[in-house]
């Protein structure tokens, strides 16, 4: 990257986009333009003198204003199926129109579906009916279409990205572990948990944006250590300083999940249609409030059917291509990544807010 090159990061208020914008700014080698959907989402990055621009990927006028004058776009924005697909198309249209020199698209390893074994970038797309993975496939197809039209596209396919600010794989699992309802899932948690610490992923994205050989290529991004999901839960639990996890036998784990699915659906229905009366009851009657909180806690900390399937997936997403072509070398093993994650959870007070 050349000095004073301007890079637009879409989805800069999100987990990965925010980390990337911060890292690029702190590197001092480029000018960062942080694309956000609305001004209320600028809080995390506001402590830095970063240029903010409105960049709703469904708004062509905002995209044109945001992309004008930049040389590189890193497309991290995500949302609904429509915004994932059409939003990516809108960004690619603008990149073609404005002659962007590099376009790095953040995809996901979920485009491979539910595979087994060692998976490299030649593995075909697999539709599963999962809206997230399937919409990412469609977005990638658009990237390759626009590459043929002349947009210098590179695609990043990260695995499980964890670390500070990760709601899905860090905050939620910390809450699950702290609840006392989580545990070791025999028969369901023995799949490979392909963890990559956020700083390593950001380094990989920056390498892809820098290397000419990355144009027209897709890259898996994974971490340096392969552990099972159960091992991840155990080591995260230990990093939090909690007592040993409960062990759920295969039948018990599946039964809890099957029982909770209709309960979860019913709870959503009741909340959607009777939120007012429920709030009034919980405010007036302490026993009712405690019962509601206990039920909510159980629902949130019981694995879904899709999660049990993920926890049992026996696949390794090989980062060999990124290592050989880009010099990608992940530096954060699981112990270090968890240490940094727990420090952040403690700093922002998320560990002290548990009931």
CB 220 within 8 A of CB 259: no
pLDDT, the chain, mean: 88
Residue 325 lies in a domain: no
pLDDT confidence of residue 292: 42
Confidence of residue 4 (pLDDT cuts 50, 70, 90): confident
- Residue 137 maps to which CATH number? 3.40.50.720
Residue 142, domain member (yes or no): yes
Range with lowest mean pLDDT among 17-31, 53-67, 300-314, 328-342: 300-314
Whole-angstrom CA distances from 297 to 74, 214, 255, 306 are 37, 45, 18, 19
196 within some domain:
no
Assigned domain for 243 exists: no
Provide the domain limits for residue 31. 5-158
Q: Tokens at residue 156, please?
A: 């990043």
pTM for this structure?
0.87
CB 2 within 8 A of CB 148: no
What are the tens digits of pLDDT across the range 7-17? 999 999 999 99
Structurally, the chain folds into a number of domains equal to 1
The answer, yes or no, to whether residue 291 has pLDDT greater than 60, is no
Kindly state whether residue 291 falls inside one of the protein's structural domains.
no
User: Residue range 104-108: average pLDDT?
Assistant: 98
* pLDDT over 80 at 207, yes or no: yes
Q: Spell out the alpha helix ranges (H) of 183-249.
A: 198-210, 229-239
123 within some domain: yes
CA-wise closest residue to 157 among 314, 312, 13, 16: 16
Supply the pLDDT for residue 305: 76
255, pLDDT greater than 70: no
């Amino acid at each position: 990257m050349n000095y004073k090159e301007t890079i637009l990061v879409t989805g800069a208020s999100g987990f990965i986009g925010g980390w990337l914008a911060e890292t690029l700014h702190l590197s001092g080698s480029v000018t960062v333009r942080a694309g956000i959907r609305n001004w209320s989402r600028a809080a995390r990055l506001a402590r830095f003198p970063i240029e903010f621009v409105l960049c709703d990927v469904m708004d062509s006028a905002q995209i044109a204003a945001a992309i004008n004058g930049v040389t590189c776009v890193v497309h991290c924005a995500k949302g609904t199926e429509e915004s994932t697909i059409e939003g990516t198309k809108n960004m690619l249209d603008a990149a073609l129109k404005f002659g962007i020199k590099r376009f790095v698209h953040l995809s996901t390893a979920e485009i491979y579906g539910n595979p087994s074994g060692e998976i490299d970038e030649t593995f075909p797309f697999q539709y599963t009916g999962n809206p997230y993975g399937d919409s990412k496939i469609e977005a990638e197809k658009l990237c390759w279409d626009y590459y043929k039209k002349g947009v210098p596209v590179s695609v990043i396919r990260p695995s499980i990205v964890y670390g500070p600010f990760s709601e899905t794989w860090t905050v939620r699992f910390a809450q699950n572990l702290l609840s006392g309802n989580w545990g070791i899932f025999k028969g369901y948690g023995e799949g490979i948990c392909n963890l990559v610490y956020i700083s390593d992923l950001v380094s990989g994205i920056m390498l892809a944006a820098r290397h000419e050989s990355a144009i027209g290529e897709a890259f898996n991004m994974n971490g340096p250590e392969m552990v099972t999901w159960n091992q991840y839960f155990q080591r995260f639990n230990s990093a939090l300083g909690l007592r040993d996890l409960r062990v759920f036998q295969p039948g018990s784990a599946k039964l809890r999940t099957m029982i909770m699915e209709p309960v979860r659906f019913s709870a959503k229905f009741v909340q959607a249609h009777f939120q007012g009366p429920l709030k009034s009851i919980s405010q007036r009657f302490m026993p009712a409030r405690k019962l509601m909180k206990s039920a909510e806690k159980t629902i949130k900390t019981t694995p879904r059917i899709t999660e049990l399937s993920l926890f049992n997936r026996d696949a390794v997403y090989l980062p060999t291509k990124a290592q050989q072509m880009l010099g990608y070398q992940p530096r954060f093993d699981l112990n270090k990544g968890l240490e940094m994650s727990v420090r952040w959870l403690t700093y922002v007070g998320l560990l002290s807010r548990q009931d």
